[in-house]
Amino acid sequence: MEFKDTQAIYLQIVDWMCDNIVKEKWKSDERIPSVRELGILLEVNPNTVMRAYECLQNQHIIYNKRGLGFFVSEDASVRITERKRTEFIGQVLPEFFRQMKLLGISWEVIHCEFEKLNREEDS
């Protein structure tokens, strides 16, 4: 995983983990990597991973089974999707529309780019 300078590393790990849950790489009630395992995998300090896990626990995305590790909550995918949609509509779209208008980008161009992206993902 490549980290950006624009956001705290633990928050980038949270986003990456949420993406894995939504993509069903980690399913409901499935054990996720331990703090140490994920720290090694992502080449970060285990304390950074633990901070991400605490954040996800506070959001009820994961839960801890004492002595067994962390697991994906039953409704984690729904919670993540609802939160990300709200953030997208409230924060990303207004700036996106502002940039479209400023740069004179039409809906046709957006539609073509969206279709191109879908074709690339299907390949």
Distance CA 28, CA 45 (A): 26
High-pLDDT (> 90) share of the chain, %: 93
Q: How confident is the model at residue 122 (pLDDT cuts 50, 70, 90)?
A: confident
- Residue 1: per-residue pLDDT: 85
pLDDT of residue 34: 96
Contacts of 22 (CB under 8 A, 6+ apart): 77, 80, 81, 84
Mean pLDDT of 1-8: 92
pTM of the predicted model, to two decimals? Answer: 0.82
CB atoms within 10 A of CB 27: 12
Kindly state the average pLDDT of the residues 96-118.
95
Q: What is the model's pLDDT at position 85?
A: 96
Q: What is the pLDDT of residues 42-97, one digit of tens each?
A: 999 999 999 999 999 999 999 999 999 999 999 999 999 999 999 999 999 999 99
Helix 9-22 vs helix 76-87: angle between axes, to the nearest 10 degrees? 120
